[in-house]
Structure 1
Amino acid sequence: MTAEVATSSFRGEPQPVQVLHAGVWFPGELLGWRFDEAGACRVRVRCVVGGLRHTAWTDLAHLRLPETAPAAPPPARGIDDTGPHPLLPPRDRHPLRTALPHPRRAGLVEWLATP
């Protein structure tokens, strides 16, 4: 007697993935998944290999998200992004500027004791 295994699938479009077959990653689609009796996840995928479209169950380890091209660097805008925003009002970074006494060579203890 074999136990039935529930299968989950997407309601909308299949999710793009890459599928490992014979040591090569092929573009494909994730159609669904299920857990076998041992608790391992198996995925249902579809991909084109050798000009033929294949649909099969495979191990989750044979699946990855599609690789994308590296992101382009942001365009140079000619302004310093580390400064304050030009539309914000200027603000004083040190609003409590007061003259602080500086200790003399004698040391901090004597400086605190002098009036």
Structure 2
Amino acid sequence: MKIFIRVMKALSDPNRVKMMKMLQQRPLCVCEIKECLGIAQSTASKHLKILEDADLVRSFKDGLWVNYSLSDGSGSPFAASMIGNLKHWLDNDAQIQRLNNILPGIDRHNIVGKG
């Protein structure tokens, strides 16, 4: 039951659900996620850690970047089920549609150039 509760708690926050929906589009780094959601980088990192601990996302290095993508869910049948279902859920939600519209214009190289 512990693994089930971890997955459900991970998906109980709206920003984490938004992150999951964004990661359906493409792998993203923390700076792209925080830019899209308008949250602090530390907050985005904490959310991603919770999603990773629930086996909903995975991280991988790409040079200097740490990218996040959806997990394959192989570590948890609960995570696998939720990842699969989320692909079909919330696509008509206004907040998700807004994210899907702005995500193509979010580029880590432009974000880093701002700072």
Alignment TM class, shorter chain as reference = under 0.3
Q: What is the TM-score with the length of structure 2 in the denominator?
A: 0.22
Q: Give the number of the structure whose alpha-carbon radius of gyration is greater.
A: 1
Give the number of the structure whose residues are more often strand, by fraction: 1
Alignment TM-score, normalising by the size of structure 1: 0.22
Q: Which has the higher contact order (CA 8 A, sep 6+)?
A: 2
Q: Going by fraction, where is helix more abundant, 1 or 2?
A: 2
